[in-house]
Amino acid sequence: MNWRLQELGFLPVRDPLTRLADPAFEAIERLGADLPRLNHDGKFRDASASYLTPTLDWDRLVPTLDDASLERLFKLFSYFASASIHAPNESPGTAVPGPGRLPAHIAIPLVRLAQAVDRPPILSYASYCLHNWRRLDPQGPVALGNIALLQNSSMPDDGKRDEDWFILVHVDIEARAGLALRSVQSMKAAIDKNDAPVIETLLESASQSLHAMNETLNRMPEQCSPDVYFRKVRPYIFGFNDVVYEGCFDNRPQTYRGETGAQSSIIPTMLVAFGIEHQNSLLTAHLEDMRKYMPAPHRKFISEQVSVRDFAGRAGPRVKELYNACLSEIIAFRSRHFEYAVNYIERKVANPIATGGTPYIPWLRQLIEETKTFYLS
């Protein structure tokens, strides 16, 4: 995989496709454009078959598609699947598959495309965020103010685009992480050479990048309200529990995690780079399970990083100071995430469960407290 790591982080090297030009995909594109309205009107399940049948020969088509086309199609069908399972049930008593069953005209292409992109057949962070933006000014940066969303599940609420902002904040964070990712990637060579001045420079760059991520995360409430998020954004990103993908897996029910920021590769990379190890528990097993929802090159990138912690522990005070500064930024990021989890979710439900299916409040607390134990003295 070609990387423009410092500029784009884990975002794709080429901007995501905004539309598939092949006329064979016209009906799929129309359904994507109509999806927010159909969800709003409670008509998606009834309408989807009319857009997507007769079905295409996906076994023939998929091997002919480039990566950008595969990602766009996988994103669209992932959104269709979420709508099919999670949208309001508009037609009780009809034969249209609803919660618990994904109709074949969605399930078969989704599963075939999932195999091609090497991710589970459900809407995950890579499709929801990494491949779901466009630049307003093609020559400008990937940053809030110059990016727009490509695919929505919901219609604007009183003209406000809370869903767009929620996702685009994450896109901006991914881009701002680029310098930190490039810095930790460069640490192995500096550690091997015992080059403390280079390590200092890399840690300083990483700290600045992590701070920029926090600045963006702090902006979430500007245009994404807890009420709208809870009512119109969150319902579409839950996982699938015992869902039958008609025509796939011998019609055996499948279970997959919902879209969650835990599927971003940024923090897992930082945990390796700074030697932050969490105690083995259901939490660490869950975090490890999130790896399968990440793009394969990102999983590989995480596995290739080395920890700077031992080097920093025996280095001079400046290296330790910069290491601790990076740790503080990671803790700040996790703490703000915890704050949002409380304000956007916990205060609105009696039994808060994350979209990834976890008891997230005690788990997030555990992550923060364990991270604090890694400060160097």
- DSSP symbol at 157: B
Note whether 214 and 191 are same-domain residues: yes
* Residue 120, pLDDT score: 98
Distance CA 351, CA 345 (A): 10
Q: How many structural domains compose the chain? A: 2
156 is a domain residue: no
* Residue 320, pLDDT score: 98
Print the domain residue range for 35: 9-149
Q: How confident is the model at residue 55 (pLDDT cuts 50, 70, 90)?
A: confident
Average pLDDT of span 101-123: 97
Note whether 277 and 357 are same-domain residues: yes
* Residue 233, pLDDT score: 94
* Residue 354, pLDDT score: 65
β-strand 240-245 against 101-102: which pairing, if any?
Answer: parallel
Average pLDDT of span 33-37: 97
Provide, rounded to the nearest whole percent, the portion of the chain with pLDDT above 70.
Answer: 94
* Residue 209, pLDDT score: 98
* Residue 85, pLDDT score: 94
Note whether 31 and 100 are same-domain residues: yes
4 is a domain residue: no
Domain boundary, last residue among 100, 126, 149: 149
Domain boundary, last residue among 99, 121, 149: 149
Q: What angle do CA 199, 201, 206 make, to 5 degrees?
A: 90
Q: What is the mean pLDDT of the chain?
A: 93
Q: How confident is the model at residue 357 (pLDDT cuts 50, 70, 90)?
A: low
Average pLDDT of span 82-106: 73
- Written as six digits, the tokens of 73 are 């199609």
24 is a domain residue: yes
Residues in the chain, overall count = 377
Note whether 221 and 82 are same-domain residues: no
254 is a domain residue: no
Note whether 284 and 336 are same-domain residues: yes
Q: Any idea which residue has 């992480």 for tokens?
A: 177
pLDDT at position 2 over 60: no
pLDDT at position 95 over 70: no
pLDDT at position 158 over 90: no
Which range among 25-34, 90-99, 250-259, 368-377 shows the weakest confidence by mean pLDDT?
Answer: 90-99
Asked if residue 330 lies in contact with residue 276, where contact means CB atoms within 8 angstroms, the answer is yes
* Residue 239, pLDDT score: 93
pLDDT at position 93 over 50: no
* Residue 157, pLDDT score: 82
Provide, rounded to the nearest whole percent, the portion of the chain with pLDDT above 90.
Answer: 85
Give tens-digit pLDDT for 176-230. 999 999 999 999 999 999 999 999 999 999 999 999 999 999 999 999 999 999 9
Distance CA 76, CA 377 (A): 49
Domain of 89, CATH number, reads: 1.20.58
Note whether 217 and 336 are same-domain residues: yes
259 is a domain residue: no
Note whether 302 and 197 are same-domain residues: yes
Average pLDDT of span 345-361: 74
* Residue 123, pLDDT score: 98
pLDDT at position 350 over 90: no
Three-state secondary-structure class, residue 179? helix
Domain boundary, last residue among 121, 149, 177: 149
Note whether 169 and 35 are same-domain residues: no
Note whether 113 and 224 are same-domain residues: no
248 is a domain residue: no
Give, for 163, the enclosing helix (H) or strand (E): helix 162-176
Distance CA 332, CA 368 (A): 9
Note whether 114 and 214 are same-domain residues: no
Give, for 134, the enclosing helix (H) or strand (E): strand 133-135
155 is a domain residue: no
Note whether 87 and 217 are same-domain residues: no
252 is a domain residue: no
User: Is the pTM value of this prediction over 0.75?
Assistant: yes
Q: What is the DSSP string of 189-251?
A: HHHHTT-HHHHHHHHHHHHHHHHHHHHHHTTHHHH--HHHIIIIIGGGG--EEEEEETTSGGG
Give tens-digit pLDDT for 290-348. 999 999 999 999 999 999 999 999 999 999 999 999 999 999 999 999 999 999 988 88
Q: How confident is the model at residue 358 (pLDDT cuts 50, 70, 90)?
A: low
Note whether 114 and 204 are same-domain residues: no
Domain of 177, CATH number, reads: 1.20.58.480
